[in-house]
C-alpha cells in the first residue's frame, strides 16, 4: 500500500485504540461527563502513549539497538513505522500506559477535569483495548510461550527466536493475555457498578488485575529478555506495580470528596 504498508500488527493496535476510546466515551457520558471528552483526551494520550511504548522498549532492550552486536541500527530505536529495522515492533504496554497517562493528565489540567475520574472511567476500556491490541503478536509471530501439544497450540515458523528444533507448536501467550484482559474488563465493569469506586481506585484495581495476569503469562514466554535474579524484567515490573496499586486502594479507601468532570451533564448510572 505504498510507502506506508498497513500490516496486521498495526491494524490490531489501531482497533484496540478505537475500541478503548469508544467504550471510555460511553462510560464517561453515563457518568455525567460532556460528550466528546474522551476523544479530546485521546488526542493527547495517544501520541504520548506511542512515544512511551517505544521508549520503554528501547530502554529495557537497549542491546537490540546499541553496541557492536546489536541486530538493529541505532536509528531503528526511534522508528515505529517502516521497512528498515523492526518497524511497528517493539511497543510496550508499560510505557504506553505510563506516558499516555501523562498526556491525559495534561489534557485534564487544561479542561479542569479530575484525572482520577478519567482513570476510573477508562479502566475497563484500556483492558478491552489491550485485549484487541495483543493480537498484533500473532501476526508478527512473537512473544510466544514454550512448546505445547495442546489443541490451541500456535504454529511458529522454525528458526524464530525461542523456537526449538523439531517443535512446531507453542503456547499462544498473546491469546492468554487477551482472554485475561477481557475477563478483567468485565470484572471492572461489574465492580465499578456494584461498589461505585472513585478517586482512581477502579483504575488501581485494573493495574493490580493486569499485572497479576501479566506476571504468570510473562513466565511462560521464551523470547529473549533481560533478567534480574532469575526473573524477567517485566515480572519485576508487574510485582512492583501490583503492590503499589493495592497499597493505593487501601490508602484511599475512605476518600469521598467530589471529583470535577469539567463541563458536566446530568449524571446517570454507570453501566
What is the tens place of the pLDDT at every residue in 250-259? Answer: 999 888 888 8
> How would you classify residue 112: left for phi > 0, otherwise alpha for psi between -120 and 50, otherwise beta?
left
Q: 24 in a domain, yes or no?
A: yes
DSSP state of 112: T
Number of domains in the chain: 1
Least confident of 36-45, 141-150, 226-235, 253-262: 253-262
Q: 155 in a domain, yes or no?
A: yes
Query: 265 a known binding residue?
Result: no
Q: Is the pLDDT of residue 26 over 90?
A: yes
Distance of alpha carbon 80 from alpha carbon 89, whole angstroms: 7
Q: 173 in a domain, yes or no?
A: yes
Mean pLDDT (whole number) for 206-231: 93
Q: 41 in a domain, yes or no?
A: yes
What per-residue confidence (pLDDT) applies to 124?
98
pTM: 0.86
Q: 3 in a domain, yes or no?
A: no
Task: Specify which residues 271 forms β-bridges with.
Answer: none
Q: 220 in a domain, yes or no?
A: yes
Least confident of 27-31, 146-150, 175-179, 263-267: 263-267
Q: Which domain holds residue 81?
A: 8-251
Distance of alpha carbon 221 from alpha carbon 92, whole angstroms: 15
Q: 198 in a domain, yes or no?
A: yes
Q: 18 in a domain, yes or no?
A: yes
What helix, strand, coil percent values describe the chain, rounded to 5? 60, 5, 35
Amino acid at each position: 500500500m505504498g510507502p506506508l504498508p498497513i500490516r496486521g500488527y498495526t491494524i490490531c493496535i489501531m482497533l484496540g485504540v478505537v475500541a478503548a476510546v469508544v467504550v471510555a466515551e460511553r462510560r464517561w457520558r453515563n457518568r455525567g461527563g460532556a460528550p466528546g471528552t474522551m476523544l479530546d483526551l485521546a488526542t493527547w494520550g495517544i501520541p504520548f502513549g506511542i512515544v512511551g511504548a517505544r521508549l520503554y522498549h528501547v530502554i529495557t532492550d537497549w542491546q537490540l539497538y546499541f553496541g557492536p552486536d546489536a541486530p538493529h541500527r541505532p536509528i531503528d530505536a526511534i522508528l515505529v513505522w517502516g521497512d528498515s529495522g523492526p518497524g511497528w515492533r517493539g511497543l510496550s504496554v508499560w510505557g504506553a500506559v505510563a506516558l499516555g497517562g501523562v498526556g491525559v493528565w495534561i489534557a485534564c489540567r487544561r479542561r479542569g477535569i479530575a484525572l482520577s475520574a478519567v482513570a476510573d472511567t477508562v479502566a475497563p476500556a484500556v483492558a478491552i483495548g489491550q485485549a484487541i491490541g495483543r493480537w498484533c503478536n500473532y501476526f508478527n509471530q512473537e512473544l510466544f510461550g514454550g512448546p505445547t501439544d495442546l489443541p490451541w497450540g500456535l504454529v511458529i515458523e522454525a528458526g524464530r527466536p525461542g523456537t526449538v528444533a523439531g517443535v512446531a507448536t507453542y503456547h499462544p501467550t498473546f491469546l492468554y493475555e487477551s482472554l485475561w484482559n477481557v475477563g478483567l474488563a468485565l470484572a471492572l465493569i461489574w465492580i465499578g457498578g456494584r461498589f461505585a469506586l472513585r478517586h482512581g481506585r477502579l483504575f488501581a484495581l485494573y493495574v493490580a488485575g493486569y499485572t497479576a495476569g501479566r506476571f504468570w503469562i510473562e513466565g511462560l514466554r521464551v523470547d529473549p529478555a533481560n533478567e534480574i535474579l532469575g526473573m524477567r524484567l517485566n515480572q519485576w515490573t508487574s510485582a512492583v506495580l501490583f503492590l503499589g496499586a493495592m497499597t493505593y486502594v487501601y490508602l484511599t479507601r475512605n476518600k469521598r470528596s467530589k471529583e470535577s468532570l469539567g463541563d458536566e451533564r446530568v449524571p446517570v448510572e454507570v453501566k
